[in-house]
Amino acid sequence: MSASPELIGLTAHELSGLLGRREVSARELLEATWQRVAEVDGELHSFVLLTREQAEEQAAAVDARRGRGEELPRLAGIPIALKDIYCTKGIETTCCSRILAGFVPPYDADVVERCRAHGLVFLGKTNMDEFAMGSSTENSSRGPTRNPWDLERVPGGSSGGSAAAVTACETILAMGTDTGGSVRQPASFCGVVGVKPTYGRVSRYGVIAFASSLDQVGPITRDVRDCALLLNVLAGHDRRDSTSINTPAPDYTQALIPDMAGLRVGLVKEFMEYQGVGVEAQVGEAVRAAVRKLAELGAECAEVSLPHLNYSIPVYYIIAPAEASSNLARYDGVQYGHRTARADDIIEMYTKTRDEGFGPEVKRRIMLGTYALSAGYYDAYYLKAGQVRTLIRRDFDRAFESCDLLVGPVTPTVAFRLGEKTDDPVAMYLSDVCTIPVNLAGLPGMSLPCGFSREGLPIGLHLVGKPLGEEVLLRAAYAFEQSTDHHRRRPVPIGERDGRRCCVTKL
C-alpha cells in the first residue's frame, strides 16, 4: 500500500489552502508523510533523525489552534525537514560528524525559532556531508543518501538529505545551507527549487559554522511559490548575527509575476565553460533552451563574460578551508561532543579526540586551511585569494551594469554515480564550479528545474541576482516555471523504471 500521493505530492501553498479550509488536518498530513518516509527512507536515507513525538505535538497544537478559529500563519501545519547543521533546542544536532555525536543544543538557531513561530512541523534532521564539506553527501559519518531519480546516483551535497527528502515527497519543505553550492547543486541534481539568499539576508545564528564569510541558509522546495513563502519566514534582521543585513525583508510572493518584460538576462560564458572546458553537452543544450524560453517571455538576453570566474575554484579552496580550520578548532573534546577515552596529557587528548571525531575530507580541509594560514604562506595563499575574490566581485558588479539577472547551468554535469569521485578531491571540487563564485561575491543564487537528460536525470538552471535581488530571481523563476512542467513529478514506490531504480517519476 503506497502512501497517499494525492496529499504528499502537493506543494506547501496547495496544502496550506486545504489546511485552512480544514479539508485536511495537520495530523493527517503528518501521518501521510510518515507513511512515505517508511516506504522509501530505508533505501534513500534522507533522514538521520526523526523527531516523531515533537512533530505530533506541533501538528496537534496547530490543529487545536485552528479548531478554536485562530488566524494562523500561512505555513502552519506544513512539514519541514531541517539539515543536521541547525541547532535545535533539545534535539540532537551532529553536522553528521562523529565529533558531535550526542550533542543536544541548549538553544534554537534563529531560523529554527522563526519556523517554530510560523507553526511549521519539524520532521527531523536530514543527512549531509560532514560539516557541509562535500558535493555528494558521501562524506556523512552516517552513510550516503541516494538520488530519488536513480538510486545508484548521488543527490548532490552537502544538503543532499534535504534535497532528496523534498524530491521523494518525504517532506513538503526543507532547509539547507550553501557555502559553495550546497543548496543549489543538490537542488539541481534532484530537480527541485533551491535558493541561496544574499549573504546576510538570513541569520546564521545557531547554524554550525563552516566558512563564516560564505555560509548562508537556504530553502529547498517543490516550486517557486513555496520558495517565496519559506523565504518570507526565514529572511530578516537578527542582532545575534553581526553580519545580518538590517533592512526589512519584502513579501517575496509579491515578486511572483509570470512575465519577464523589461528584464535583461546575461548568459555567463564562464558558467558554460570553465577554463575552456565546456559543461556536459546536454546540460548546455537545456540551459540554452531555457534562455530562449526567457526571451519568449519578454526578457532581453545576451551573452556576458566574467573572466575572473576562471579562478573561482582555487580562491574558494583557499578561503573556505582557511575559515574552516579556524571554526573547527572549537572541537577539542572539552565543552561538548566526543572526547577520546584515554589520554595522558592535554595535547594527546586534543589530537586523539580530533583524529577519532573527524572524517577524511574534514581533516583534509583543516590541513589545507592550516597550511594556507601558516607562517610564510599567508601572502601567497590567503591574501592572494582575497584579492582575486575582489576581482570576481568586480566582474559581477560590471555585468550587473548591463544585466538584471545572470544565468547558466548550476552544475557541469547531471548527478554522478556513488563512488565516482570519492578518490579524487579536485574532481569533486570541480562539480561546484558554477555555484562557488556566487558565494565568493555574496550574491543571491537559485537553482530551478529546466529539463532532463537522456538518462532521465534533472538539469538545473542557475539564476544569479544583484545583492538583495531575490525578487528578480523569483520573478524570472516563476515566469519560467509557469510556462514549463519540469518541476512537476509524481512520488511512486521504489522500483525499476526505464532501467533505473527510483521513487519519483515525471508526471
List active site positions.
Answer: 83, 158, 182
Give the binding-site size for other proteins (rule: CB under 8 A): 72
Half-sphere exposure of 349 (CA within 13 A, CB side): 11
Q: Does 338 bind other proteins (CB under 8 A)?
A: yes
Sign of CA dihedral 253, 257, 262, 266: positive
Q: Does 351 bind other proteins (CB under 8 A)?
A: yes
Which string of x and - marks every residue 407-446 that binds other proteins (by CB under 8 A)?
Answer: ------------------xx-------------xxxx---
User: Taking contact as CB under 8 A, which single stretch among the options 24-32, 259-267, 324-332, 455-463 is the one that binds other proteins?
Assistant: 324-332
Q: Does 49 bind other proteins (CB under 8 A)?
A: no
Q: Does 368 bind other proteins (CB under 8 A)?
A: yes
Question: How many other CB atoms sit within 10 Å of the CB of residue 269?
Answer: 15
Q: Which residues, 15 to 34, sit near other proteins by CB under 8 A?
A: none
What's the closest the beta carbon of residue 317 comes to other proteins, in angstroms? 7
Cβ-Cβ contacts under 8 Å for 233 (sequence gap 6 or more) = 73, 75, 111, 114, 115, 118, 120
Applying CB under 8 A, among 347, 401, 496, 499 the residue interacting with other proteins is 347
Q: Does 403 bind other proteins (CB under 8 A)?
A: no
Q: Which residues, 297 to 316, sit near other proteins by CB under 8 A?
A: 308, 311, 313-315
Q: Does 334 bind other proteins (CB under 8 A)?
A: yes
Dist. CA 478–CA 473, nearest whole Å:
8
Which string of x and - marks every residue 86-105 that binds other proteins (by CB under 8 A)?
Answer: ----------------xxx-
User: Taking contact as CB under 8 A, which single stretch among the options 128-136, 226-234, 260-268, 375-383 is the one that binds other proteins?
Assistant: 375-383
| Cβ proximity to other proteins, 281 vs 347, nearer residue | 347
Q: Does 277 bind other proteins (CB under 8 A)?
A: no
Of 75, 301, 268, 101, residue with least CA distance to 174: 75
The residues that bridge with 153 in the sheet, in sequence order, are 417
Dist. CA 502–CA 147, nearest whole Å:
8
What's the closest the beta carbon of residue 73 comes to other proteins, in angstroms? 28
Q: Does 243 bind other proteins (CB under 8 A)?
A: yes
Dist. CA 373–CA 383, nearest whole Å:
9
Dist. CA 358–CA 353, nearest whole Å:
9
Residue indicated by cell numbers 574558494: 316
Residue indicated by cell numbers 523563476: 477
Q: Does 61 bind other proteins (CB under 8 A)?
A: no
End-to-end CA distance of the chain: 20
| Cβ proximity to other proteins, 13 vs 421, nearer residue | 421
Give the amino acid at 351: T
What's the closest the beta carbon of residue 258 comes to other proteins, in angstroms? 31
Radius of gyration for the chain, computed over Cα atoms and rounded to the nearest angstrom: 21
Q: Does 213 bind other proteins (CB under 8 A)?
A: yes
Give the amino acid at 39: E
Applying CB under 8 A, among 45, 74, 354, 486 the residue interacting with other proteins is 354
